Amino acid sequence: MNAQNATNEAPSEMQILDMSVNLGGLEMKNPLTTASGTFASGMEYAEIWADSAKVCDGHVPSSQAAQAPCGGLNHRQLSINPDTPLSCLGAIITKGVSLNPWPGNDGLRIAESANGMLNSIGLQNPGVEAFCTGDLVWLANQDVPVIVNISGHSVAEYMAVVERLESEPAVSAYEINISCPNVDSGGMGFGTDPLTAAEVTAACRTASKRPLIIKLTPNVTDITEVARAVESAGADAISLINTVAGMAVDIHTRRPVFDRVVAGLSGPAIKPIALWAVYRVYQAVKLPLLGIGGIRSAEDVVEFMLAGATAVAIGTANFTDPLTAPKILVDLKEWCVTQGIKNLRELIGALR
């Protein structure tokens, strides 16, 4: 059987597999999205996905699978539309957007750690106006729901960004970042206190009827407390988790690696922390959850869904392998077929 036959057979299997999910009012054709800040607005990855599909989806007979140029794909093919490569995703989440341009942090911005990385980017972005006239214009034609990730130094700033985006039809939902460890005023400060978390949520709620997703930090004693607070304040869904606060030390200079000392840990190293957060918050609130943290395989996606996630986002894994998301989609479909799963939603919170 060659690759061509494999794809010809696939549709009949796929027709009976329903991968769609609903994340607090946002319809997603599958549960896969991208974690804010690791994917910009998707332009860079769209180019790579389209170009790699040309190389990887060359008609490679399965007998030669080992020589196929794209690791781990074997005889399977990425289902990527070269005109709108991101349309294979359930949604895309943008880099954090703030009211005014933010310059980002000085000094080194990343470091590697065992099975993870630390970042101190500092939410560098050109501001909401530049976003609307730039990236968003491109995103509007990509045939994928757009979730805009929002950061602010004050409740009023969060609200102002939402208000500006309300007039943009290309925006499908908001993810409010009250959990970034890499900025001084605002960021994580809002997400560690249930009261301020609720305040930001309520303010954004008054500004929009669109699905409102609040992104929480694991850097708290009891994440369920904050989750309950944002639920009562009108959130439609909860994202968890943002990065875990950490630091790195340079023994040669005897100085912290990062100018701000603290940085955010992400990648496979934090997956157990993220799963535990999803599991607990799933018990504590009724809202659908977006699971984030160290996801790099279809198995990881299934784990998060079983723990209670409705959808998941791929973050650091985009750096390790830019084809992670489309590969996971292929693997996830295959896994469902072999498991006899017809509706992916049956996995949500189905932990025994």
Ligand X SMILES: Cc1cc2nc3c(=O)[nH]c(=O)nc-3n(C[C@H](O)[C@H](O)[C@H](O)COP(=O)(O)O)c2cc1C
Considering CB under 6 A, how many residues would be counted as binding ligand X?
25
Round the CA-based radius of gyration of the chain to a whole number and report it: 20
41 forms part of the interface with ligand X (CB under 6 A): no
CB atoms within 10 A of CB 178: 29
Separation between Cα atoms, residue 123 and residue 278, nearest integer Å: 24
Nearer to another protein, 70 or 160 (CB): 70
Separation between Cα atoms, residue 179 and residue 37, nearest integer Å: 13
Q: Which of 270, 273, 239, 260 is CA-nearest to residue 33? A: 239
The residue from 171, 316, 329, 333 that contacts ligand X (CB under 6 A) is 316
Nearer to ligand X, 57 or 236 (CB): 236
Tokens for 327, please give them.
């590969």
The residue from 33, 172, 177, 324 that contacts ligand X (CB under 6 A) is 177
144 forms part of the interface with ligand X (CB under 6 A): no
> CB of 161: closest distance to another protein in angstroms?
19
End-to-end CA distance of the chain: 38
Catalytic residue among 88, 180, 204, 336: 180
Candidate segments 35-43, 45-53, 132-140, 343-351, binder of ligand X by CB under 6 A: 35-43
> CB of 110: closest distance to another protein in angstroms?
4
277 in Cβ contact with 218 (< 8 Å): yes
Residues that bind another protein (CB under 8 A): 37-40, 44-45, 47-48, 51-52, 54-56, 68-72, 95, 103-104, 108-112, 114-117, 119, 121, 124, 267-268, 316-323
> CB of 264: closest distance to another protein in angstroms?
12
Nearer to another protein, 163 or 321 (CB): 321
**Can 180 be counted among the known catalytic residues?**
yes
Candidate segments 16-24, 67-75, 263-271, 326-334, binder of ligand X by CB under 6 A: 263-271
Candidate segments 34-42, 43-51, 152-160, 220-228, binder of ligand X by CB under 6 A: 34-42
95 forms part of the interface with ligand X (CB under 6 A): yes
The residue from 76, 153, 210, 215 that contacts ligand X (CB under 6 A) is 215
Nearer to another protein, 63 or 320 (CB): 320
Q: Which of residues 43-82 bind ligand X (CB under 6 A)?
A: none
Nearer to another protein, 109 or 260 (CB): 109
> CB of 14: closest distance to ligand X in angstroms?
26
Nearer to another protein, 92 or 128 (CB): 92
The residue from 242, 281, 307, 331 that contacts ligand X (CB under 6 A) is 242
Q: Which does 246 bind (CB under 5 to 8 A by kind): another protein, ligand X, none?
A: none
Nearer to another protein, 54 or 342 (CB): 54
Q: What's the 3-state SS for the chain? A: CCHHHHHHHHHHHHHCCECCEEECCEEECCCEEECCCCCCCCHHHHHHHHHHHHHHCCCCCHHHHHHCCCCCCCCCCCCCCCCCHHHHCCCEECCCECCCCECCCCCCCEEEECCEEEECCCCCECCHHHHHHCHHHHHCCCCCCEEEEECCCCHHHHHHHHHHHHCCCCCCEEEEECCCCCCCCCHHHHCCCHHHHHHHHHHHHHHCCCCEEEECCCCCCCHHHHHHHHHHCCCCEEEECCCEEECCEECCCCEECCCCCCEEEECHHHHHHHHHHHHHHHHHCCCCEEEECCCCCHHHHHHHHHHCEEEEEECCHHHHCCCHHHHHHHHHHHHHHHHCCCEHHHHCCCCC
- Binding-site ranges for ligand X (CB under 6 A): 35-38, 95-96, 119, 121, 123, 149, 177, 180, 215, 242-243, 266-267, 270, 292-295, 315-317
* Residues forming the active site: 180
